[in-house]
Structure 1
Amino acid sequence: MGEESIERADIPAERELPVLYRDEELVAINKPHGLLVHRSMIASDASEFAVQLLRDQLGQRVYPVHRLDRKTGGVLLFALNERMNSLMQQQFAEGKVQKTYRAIVRGYTPDDLEIDYPLRREDGVVQEAFTRLKTLRRTEVNLPFGKHPTSRYSLVELQPTTGRLHQLRKHMAHVFHPIIGDRPHGCNKQNKLFKEQFGMDTMLLHAQRIQFQHPVTGHEIRVSAPCQAEFERMLAVLFAD
């Protein structure tokens, strides 16, 4: 079975997207791994998209105010009208939305780390990029890898203060702790190991929480998403103790 068909197994069979938060102008869902946010020419194999599914589910037009990679699961926020879409996109652009992710990565990461490493866009423009890392747990698994008799992994919390394309994936690869299941920025040998040993072919990156001030009410909004089944399964396998 190919990579994309395995990843799409996380998409609910009934096509109901889990709603985490909703008011008159905003709605947040827990996006499954493998689901595109919207139609893309570079993913012609996809036939379903979060925008389309949520529109049909709610019976009204929805506007994604930010993006998640196809392989990333977790909190995805939509506006329910053009005005709110503009206001929320402005907050994202100004760095006023706090985003928190969880990831399982190769190796033992430091307790805390600040990754200040500019990233180059496809058009050659170099942009500043900054990520804060906090290690939540570490594990050593009785699984030989290369010359090593065991394998080491870390569960980390990541907070990007900029929103560059594939920022977390590229930053973790830059510090030699690639996210498990990431292609092409991760470790292909580790990805193959997880597929062979655990039948796992999902990128272990989860958008856990977003926090922002509601543009209309002024209230502090905090939306969290539980990890999805495959992420939870790998947490149980790797961090059993």
Structure 2
Amino acid sequence: MVNFKSKRSKENTVFEVTEAEELLPFLLQSFNNRSRNSVKSLLTRGQVYVNERAQTQHNYGLKPGDKVMIRWVTTLPKETGITVIYEDEDVLIIDKPSGLLTIATDKERERTAYHQLTTYIKNQDARQRLFIVHRLDKETSGVMMFAKSMRAKERMQNEWRERVTKRTYIALVEGRVSQKQGTITSWLQETKTHRMYSSKKTGDGQKAITHYKVLRTSGHYSLLEVHLETGRKNQIRVHMQEMGHPIVGDKLYGAKTKAIGRLGLHAAVLAFKHPKTNQIKSFESPVPEVFFKPFKGR
């Protein structure tokens, strides 16, 4: 028998208890699509609140009218800089800081989002695995997705164009962009030194389409909202250079300034059809305050 009513937001799920029961059995029934260990880990990590007070006891007694809240926004150890925005049996959504690699390189094996998150989920369940779905450049911050099963990974990657309904970036670029909105279409290729370049010749590489809208301008900088229709490597960075307005701090693609001390690119929104439920999930990461620094007082 269903013994609760639920209400969900991006950050929390709230259940109203309608029958007396202990907390762990209540959670197992409420989340019957998750493993027992996964549900118990919600208690262990302090994500379960009863009547707005954190509760970790498995046998805590619930009574009708109690409100049980699950806080999905959790933070890994501070030194990682990663915030877990959402997690279920199939996907893990994070807010990645600037300066953190997605996966290992020859020079760096451990200080990566993948390594830190693998440790995080194995602390919940030693059998759990993590899979790369897509990547963000080291210096790009914002919303990023990982898969927790091979099936979810393959479905998201194989059906990426159909499943991802929105990808929005915020880009701080050099110069005053005069055209308020526009679309850049080209074909991208990669050099032997792994630098991407753009060609206007049809079929000369992978087709890349980027839409942009100007949010703010000053004499020297512009803040753009950028929507990706395709997701090629370094696509936004290459297209901004091609437009004559390289991203601030992006020396590789023509930038001459370091106005904010980092790359001026942030993944602000990711919306997609869930690989199992097909429900639309949408997640946001606030634009770093430093992106507005060049416009202060204007």
Which TM bucket (shorter chain)?
0.7 to 0.9
Alpha-carbon spacing, 1:181–1:12, altered in 2? closer, same or farther (3 Å)? farther
Of 25, 33, 38, 2:103 maps to 38
Task: Give 5+ residue unaligned stretches, structure 1.
Answer: 1-10, 141-151, 195-199
Question: Alignment RMSD, CA only?
Answer: 2.2
**Matches of residues 1-241 of structure 1 in structure 2 within 5 Å?**
13-15=78-80, 17-41=82-106, 44-45=107-108, 47-59=110-122, 60-92=128-160, 96-109=164-177, 110-122=179-191, 126-140=205-219, 152-187=220-255, 189-191=256-258, 194=259, 200-227=260-287, 231-241=288-298
2:218 counterpart SS class: strand
Distance 1:95 1:131 in 2: 18
TM-score by length of 1: 0.78
TM-score by length of 2: 0.64
Alpha-carbon spacing, 1:186–1:95, altered in 2? closer, same or farther (3 Å)? farther
One-letter amino acid of the counterpart of residue 131, structure 1: T
Alpha-carbon spacing, 1:135–1:119, altered in 2? closer, same or farther (3 Å)? same
One-letter amino acid of the counterpart of residue 208, structure 1: A
Equivalenced residue count is: 207
In the other structure, the counterpart of 2:49 is none
Shift of residue 57 of structure 1? 1.7
1:30-61 per-position Cα deviation (integer Å, ceiling 9, x unaligned): 111111111123xx156411011011122242
In the other structure, the counterpart of 2:65 is none
Shift of residue 164 of structure 1? 1.3
**CA contact 2:95–2:142 (8 Å) conserved in 1:** yes
Shift of residue 236 of structure 1? 3.5
1:187-209 per-position Cα deviation (integer Å, ceiling 9, x unaligned): 2x323xx3xxxxx4210100011
Alpha-carbon spacing, 1:39–1:122, altered in 2? closer, same or farther (3 Å)? same
One-letter amino acid of the counterpart of residue 190, structure 1: T
Query: Which has the larger share of strand?
Result: 2
Alpha-carbon spacing, 1:16–1:234, altered in 2? closer, same or farther (3 Å)? closer
2:157 counterpart SS class: helix
1:56-115 per-position Cα deviation (integer Å, ceiling 9, x unaligned): 122242112101111111011011111101111112255744211001111222211100
